[in-house]
A and B are shown apart, each in its own frame.
Chain A
Amino acid sequence: MGESPVRNAERLCLAHFWVAFGAFLFACVLGAWQMWVRSPLGAKIGTPGDYFMSVTAHGVSMAYVLTTFFIMGFGYFVAVTALNRPLPGWIWAWGAFWMGILGVVLALISIGSGHASVLFTFYPPLTANVWFYIGLVLVVAASWVWCALMLVAMHAWKVDNPGRPVPLAMFATVANAVMWLWTTVGVAAELLFQVIPASLGLVQTIDVGMSRTLFSWTLHAIVYFWLIPAYIAFYTLAPRAAGGRLYSDTMGRLTFILFLIYSLPVGMHHLLMDPEHGNGTKFIQVLLTAFVAAPTLLTIFTITASMEIAGRLRGGRGVFGWIATLPWKRPMVLAIGLAFVMLGFGGFGGIINMAYGMNAMVHNTSWVTAHFHLIFGGSVVIMYFAIAYEIWPRLTGRDHASLAPLRLQLWLWFTGMMVMTLPWHWLGLQGQWRRVSNFNYADPIIAAWGPWVVVSFVGGIILLTSAILFVWNLVTLHRSEVSAIAKPLYALAVHPPRRVPAALNGFGLWNVLVLVLMLLAYGFPIAQFVIEPSPAAIVHRVR
């Protein structure tokens, strides 16, 4: 692997990925155990204490560790390969990595000690011991260092290449970093000014209305922070993997800009059923949420068109002939197909969730659990797998001996996810509620759910086997003898951009628009608690 400028980035990326996938496997085991305990098969096993400790660890590992470390690792990889220059400040990157590791260790130890069973959403007045929150703050701080490095890398590249468009993969990574900086303000404010002082005992009460609103500020854009790497794979890795071209580079830039703008002022669709906000402020954010579907709809058209190009270049005829001729044998192409199917089901769940009054039908039911398992657990995580399979040869210099186990793992993940989540939609509509350690199967309404919970549990087992197979595929790759031949990674657009308006090459304009949108959408909801704080609720410490 020669003395190329990216020498050090390999270890950096691999370190991040292995932490991410380690936490992922651990959380999959917990997920499967939880599915067993709440099913009629395991109804009398474990105590609520064990269950909610596991749910907290499952949530923190999947939502904060797998995601943050994968996104940072993939960001470093993109910054080095797309910009084709060494990473600026890689010492900072390692510093951030170890700070993140310290945070993860602190959080998981405090969860394991049983003094932090407040779930990964940690809504006060229930308050965990302070090390849980300090762990989360350290992980977020590590991601802030990553954001700074991404911005510095892009800026340095733009100085050296005046007037030339930033490569789409890097543009999207920086858009993600900017969005993450914007959105972590909410959870950072809640943690630093409300929850940590309460956990330390400096204050005995907490303004619950304010803390839920501040957390909702983060709660939506964080899911797009997780989702954007999958979309980077859609736009920049998949077209080349399928042997085609990206249909439109401009649409790609526009999609990531729309994500930046519309994922921030919409967090209150998580609070539609909360009493502490008026219908008007909720409607504004519901209307903006409808527009957050736009970038996803643009993407499914642009990427399907890109796949169509690849399919037709390989001889596909007729309206749908190109589908059959696509190289489904390649993991990235198979992952795109499966990810889009899950995105369709998950997106449908999302439209129902966001529909103002109709949210009452599904809020905090298994329908919501199915929605985010399908979109994040399904289409995003399956793209994390595909990205890992695609770039592992570059990081290790070794290539997969055979693609069959990779495809099998992707199919298992897809099947497991569909088998687990489709019953949840059905049960959610009937009122099955969330985060239950044991159901009273004697109740006739709940007894009817029993068989479906077992079906979901079977899906959970399939997912667990797929997760184990995934880690196994990566481990065997490290030792495979097949040496990797360097083949280009990033897709070309049908019309590679020559000159791109400044608006599509930077984020100055969009930051201004985001500021105005945040003031209009979140201004009054937060100000109302500053003007007249909600009556103080006593802190209930879980320790």
Chain B
Amino acid sequence: MTEQRPQQSDPHVLDQPWRIWSTIAVMGIVLVGILLGVIVIPVVQGRSAGIDAFTAICRALGILPGSPAVPQFTDRTPPTPVSQVVWTPDVLQILARADVAKGKAKVQEVCIACHGENGVSVATEYPHLAGQSGAAIYKQLHDYRTGSRVNPQMTDIAKALDEAVTADVAAYYAGQPQRNLNPVTLAVSPPAIVQLVELGDPRRNIPPCASCHRAGAGGPIEAPVLAEQRDEYLIQQLKLYASGQRRNDVYGRMRLIASRLTDEEIKGLAAYYRAGFR
């Protein structure tokens, strides 16, 4: 097809057929793709399910939800949330910009009676708050305020706090250094418990505690820090979760896990974290 010419033929002249044929081929292929994918297949599938052509095409493009081949389902079940806390950017901003001084003032005024001078609680049924995650404190106070979690003392106290002060208190405690190590139990931690914390128990479908509770694991935002927490308090809360009395854990993850732990596992885990392991 290339005729013989004495001098070097101009490559652009040679180019003409390439330019035309390649454009036709490439455009043809992609147009067949569009025709089949966006028009033929959705319309034919829609007809088999009683969906009109326009809706089917919109679903194939992703403008409308649902599959072009199946009637879309709508649900009108009323919501029954277990916690009203919503992690929106503004809530996270409020937490990030909370005023620690105001928080300290409110803590001195209300919280130290039970939670102790610098977040080290005065009695076994009150949790330590020093070094606790700000988001975790914010969520629990929010749940007390909305009644998602009930406690004789905490409900009224939480109701008295507004959003900003809650964040300030949370930020203050989050800033407190943890100093409640229990060296005695630090060394002793039975391998079964370490196994449960690091690898969970696939047999009973229990995820590892560390996957959510270790800081920086990228787990749920509201997961509390457990290190150096009172072991009696941890045991009490796990039992409340297991019995379902405490139900402000979103989607019941803690209730499910707690219900599958044996009593000595609960004690072992409480001792493990009481010792200060991360």
The answer to A–B direct touch (Cβ < 8 A) is yes
Residues of A in contact with B (beta carbons under 8 Å apart):
44, 47-49, 114-115, 117-118, 126-127, 163, 201, 203-205, 261, 265, 276-284, 286-288, 291, 438-440, 442-443, 499-505, 509-510, 513, 516-517, 520-521, 524-525, 528, 536, 538, 540-543
| In the assembled complex, B87 has its CB within 8 A of some CB on chain A | yes
- Considering the chains assembled together, what is the distance between the CA atoms of A288 and B25 in angstroms? 12
Q: A204-B92, A279-B41 are in contact. Are A440 and B26 (CB under 8 A)?
A: no
Q: How far is the CA of A203 from the CA of B199 in the complex (A)?
A: 32
The answer, among B18, B57, B87, B210, for a CB contact under 8 Å with A538, is B87
Residues of A within 8 A of B216 (CB): 114-115, 541-543
Contacts of A536 in B (CB 8 A): 89
Number of interchain pairs (Cβ within 8 Å): 144
Q: Within the complex, what minimum Cβ distance (angstroms) separates A149 from chain B?
A: 25
Given the known inter-chain contacts A442-B203, A540-B221, please indicate yes or no for A278 contacting B30, CB distance below 8 A: no
Q: Mark B44-88, 1 if CB is under 8 A from A, else 0.
A: 000000000000010111110001100000000000000000010
Q: Which of B6-14, B149-157, B162-170, B240-248 forms contacts with chain A?
A: B6-14
Residues of A within 8 A of B195 (CB): 44
Tell whether, in the assembled complex, residue A283 and residue B9 are in contact, meaning their CB atoms are under 8 Å apart: no
Which of B32-40, B171-179, B231-239 binds A? B32-40
Partner of A279, one of B17, B67, B218, B219: B67
Is the pair B12, A502 in contact by a Cβ cutoff of 8 Å?
yes
Query: Contact at A126–B41, with CB atoms within 8 Å?
Result: no
Query: Which residues of chain B are near A127, meaning CB under 8 Å?
Result: 218
* A279 and B30 contacting across the interface, CB-CB below 8 Å: no
- Whether A509 lies near B33 (C-beta < 8 A) is no
- Known contacts: A284-B34, A284-B37, A505-B11. The answer to whether A279 contacts B89 by CB under 8 A is no
* Residue B27 interfacial (CB < 8 Å): yes
Distance of A8 from chain B, by nearest CB (Å): 33
Docked pose: A117 CA to B217 CA in angstroms = 9
Is the pair A48, B208 in contact by a Cβ cutoff of 8 Å?
A: yes
Q: Report whether B68 and A538 are in contact in the complex, using a CB–CB cutoff of 8 Å.
A: no
| 11 extra interface residue pairs, beta carbon distance < 8 Å, beyond A261-B26, A538-B221, A542-B217 | A47-B210, A114-B216, A126-B218, A203-B89, A278-B62, A281-B61, A283-B37, A439-B202, A442-B203, A502-B14, A528-B63
Whether B93 sits at the interface, judged by CB under 8 Å, is yes
A509 touches B92 (CB 8 A): no
Is B23's beta carbon under 8 Å from chain A?
Answer: yes
Q: Is there contact, CB below 8 Å, between B27 and A528?
A: no
Give chain B nearest CB distance to A37 CB in angstroms: 11
Of the candidates A280, A503, A520, the one whose C-beta lies within 8 Å of that of B57 is A280
Q: Does B211 contact A (CB under 8 A)?
A: yes
Q: Are A279 and B60 in contact (CB under 8 A)?
A: yes
Pick from A47, A163, A438, A528: contact of B202, CB below 8 A. A438
Which residues 200-229 of B sit at the A interface, judged by CB distance below 8 A?
202-203, 208, 210-211, 216-219, 221
A265 to B26, CA, bound (A): 12
With both chains docked as a complex, state the minimum distance between the C-beta of B253 and any C-beta of chain A, in angstroms: 16
User: Can you list 15 A-B contacts (CB < 8 A)?
Assistant: A280-B42, A280-B60, A282-B37, A284-B37, A287-B29, A440-B202, A499-B9, A503-B19, A509-B23, A513-B22, A528-B63, A538-B87, A540-B218, A540-B221, A542-B216
Q: Check B203–A48 contact: CB distance below 8 A.
A: no
B198 within 8 A of A: yes
B residues 93-152 touching A (CB-CB < 8 Å): 93, 96
Does B15 interact with chain A (Cβ within 8 Å)?
yes
Residues of chain A within 8 A of B27, CB atoms compared: 516
Bits for B173-194, please: 1 = Cβ < 8 Å to A, else 0.
Answer: 0000000000000000000000
User: Does B262 touch A at the CB level, under 8 Å?
Assistant: no
User: Of the candidates B10, B26, B60, which one forms a contact with A517 in the assembled complex, judged by CB atoms under 8 Å apart?
Assistant: B26
In the assembled complex, which residues on chain A have CB atoms less than 8 Å from the CB atom of B30?
Answer: 265, 284, 288, 516-517, 520-521
Considering the complex, give the chain B residue whose CB is closest to the CB of A500.
B11
A117 to chain B, nearest CB (A): 8
How far apart are the CA atoms of A27 and B172 in the complex, in Å? 44
Contact residues in A for B14 (Cβ distance below 8 Å): 499-502
Docked Cα-Cα span, A525 to B8, in Å, equals 47
Report yes or no: A443 in contact with B202, Cβ–Cβ below 8 A.
Answer: yes
| CB–CB A503/B37 < 8 A | no
B218 adjacent to A541 (CB under 8 Å): yes
Bound complex: CA A509 to CA B27 (Å): 13
Docked CA distance A180–B9 (Å) = 32
Closest to A118 in B: B218
Closest chain-B Cβ to A256's Cβ sits at a distance in Å of 14
Given the known inter-chain contacts A163-B11, A499-B2, A513-B22, please indicate yes or no for A278 contacting B89, CB distance below 8 A: no
Structural contact, A287 and B36, CB atoms closer than 8 A: yes
Distance in Å: Cβ of A415 to nearest Cβ of chain B: 33
Contacts of B11 in A (CB 8 A): 163, 499-502, 505
